[in-house]
Amino acid sequence: MVAIFTRTLIVYILLSFSMKIMGKREIGELDVSELVSTLLISEIAAIPIDDPDLPLMNAIIPVIFILSVEILLSYAKTRFNGLKKCIEGEPVFIVYKGEIQQRILRENRISINEFISEMRSQGIGDICEVDYALLEQSGKISVLQKQNTGVSHVLILDGEYNEAEISAERYGRDMIDSELSKRGISRSDVFYMGIDDKNTIKIIKKEEK
């Protein structure tokens, strides 16, 4: 029992030291190589704790090796911008000058529902009031907003009625179909349709693939 506690303490100190060297950042802020290194180190370090018969060096040596590679890679990325772009990628615009880049959403496997949910989590009730939105290298979305017009009630998403909103009598299907008919737009061609608290209807048509 004493041996298990001792091994666990040594591994704990080793992991704490490794994480300190790699820097204090949240999981969501780690780039790809840092996340892979963190997962590998945690998995390798747990092996000698799960199996006391294995030598402790079976964890220490691989952890030190991965840590050394990560430090060298981090240094190389600061010296060579091309290497940094190759490993981490570059930020991309999801919204540019108020226009949602639907192709970018598809390429990054982000649904319109997920994007709207992310905007709400950042206190933005209407995606049509987003001026710029950037998908950062860390996977987070940075947003610059035009102005706050309250919450937008989502009526259509990717050609389908949003039943949660149109069940209300105020935003019924007849009203939606009537508005689309006035504009000569088919529902299947609508990427997003919403109405804000000022009863301003906003429609974004699907891009041609």
Q: Verify that 96 and 27 share a domain, yes or no.
A: no
Interval 164-209: pLDDT, tens = 777 655 678 888 999 999 999 999 999 999 887 778 888 999 987 6
Last residue of a domain, one of 37, 72, 87: 87
Q: What is the mean pLDDT of the chain?
A: 80
82 and 97 co-located in one domain: no
Q: Which of 87, 104, 135 is the last residue of a domain?
A: 87
CA nearest 190: which of 165, 207, 173? Answer: 207
CA 21 to the chain's CA centroid:
25
Same domain for 17 and 72: yes
Whether the pTM exceeds 0.75: the reply is no
At 128, which CATH number? 3.30.240.20
Q: What share of the chain is helix, strand, coil (3-state, %, to 5)?
A: 55, 15, 30
65 and 17, same structural domain?
A: yes
Count of structural domains, the chain: 3
Containing structural domain, residue 72: 2-87
Q: How does DSSP assign 81-150, residue by residue?
A: HHHHHHHH---EEEEETTEE-HHHHHHTT--HHHHHHHHHHTT-S-GGGEEEEEE-TTS-EEEEES----
Quick one: 138 and 161 in the same domain?
A: no
